[in-house]
Amino acid sequence: MIIQAASVQFQHRPGDKQANLTRMAEFAAQAAARKTQLLVFPEMCITGYWHVVGMARAGIEALAEQIPAGPSTRQLLALAKRHHLVIGAGLIENHEGTLYNSYVVAEPDGSWHVHRKIHAFESEHTASGDRYTVFDSSLGCKLGILICWDNNLVENARMTALLGADILLAPHQTGGTASRSPHAMGVIDPALWRKREDDPEAIEAEFRGDKGRGWLMRWLPARAHDNGMFLVFSNGVGEDHGEVRTGNAMLIDCYGRIINETWKARDEIVCGELDLSLLERCTGRRWIRGRRPALYGPLCEASGKELDPITARFSDAPTSG
């Protein structure tokens, strides 16, 4: 079975949900014209992302919505039905008074699924999710979701695979950040983004380099390869409240090979075929069948060195993602 998939990178407008949804509707029309079945948008692309850091709770609550009753999810469901697409997009959710960095997947038949970021560090007012999200999709396969920093921890990708995910949706807002790891990412001068039309090569060199693609290539394909899943990486692009997201939208197969990608300094949609017939005999799934779970008890034991997500933001976690 082959799934026609697409990943979008776009520069959201902070706090302007309707403008962002209008832009997303344009991409949905483009995807439908290309016979796409699965369309993946970035983390918190509906509400905006980095401007939320430091925002008072009242401001975040004003942006947050219920799922599926909120207007954003309703618009996503309408787009999914109109174009017969499975569409994923990120926003801030208000679930019974608790705020989450959430990702909703809208199905053409009106059904929906939501993942709440397991490692939410953006604000003291947002809670972390407490479960993995893997579900049967109308595409005829299982989809899993991990939001940005969720993907960095190898245990999360393995658990998602063990729950049966064939395709991992990996929405992000990352790249170009002041990482505390000396050889991971790094700040990109916003002036390069602002001059992108006059000098696209300067900013695209940063996107292709260690602040963007170079950093991703050290670990992202391994999440797909080692766990026997296809991976759809969607990311913001451009200036985001003082930082520059690097885009790098890409599709990765279950051997960790890049199916299609971009490093362009602009809004972009990247399309490609996910050939699910590769899954059964791929390396990652064979390795999973060779596991010896009886040896892995310490993986489920606290070492005493763990940090909660908010504390981690000020120590080991990246400054975005």
pLDDT the model gives residue 309: 64
What's the pLDDT band for 317 if we cut at 50, 70, 90?
A: very low
65 pLDDT higher than 80:
yes
For each of the domains in the chain, give its residue range(s) and CATH number, in order of start: 2-313 (3.60.110.10)
DSSP 54-111: T--HHHHHHH-B-TTTSHHHHHHHHHHHHHT-EEEEEEEEEETTEEEEEEEEE-TTS-
Q: In Å, what is the CA distance from 203 to each residue of 9, 11, 71, 258, 264?
A: 15, 15, 36, 22, 9
pLDDT at 321 over 60: no
pLDDT tops 80 at residue 320: no
* pLDDT digit string, tens, across residues 253-288: 999 999 999 999 999 999 999 999 999 999 999 999
Longest dimension (CA), the chain: 59
The per-residue pLDDT of the chain, averaged, comes to 94
Closest by Cα among 159, 147, 118, 123 to 233:
147
Question: CA 44 to CA 70: how far, in whole Å?
Answer: 15
Determine the residue type at 177.
T
pLDDT (0 to 100) of residue 63: 97
C-alpha to C-alpha distance for 6 and 230, rounded to whole angstroms: 12
pLDDT tier at 181 (50, 70, 90 boundaries)? Answer: confident
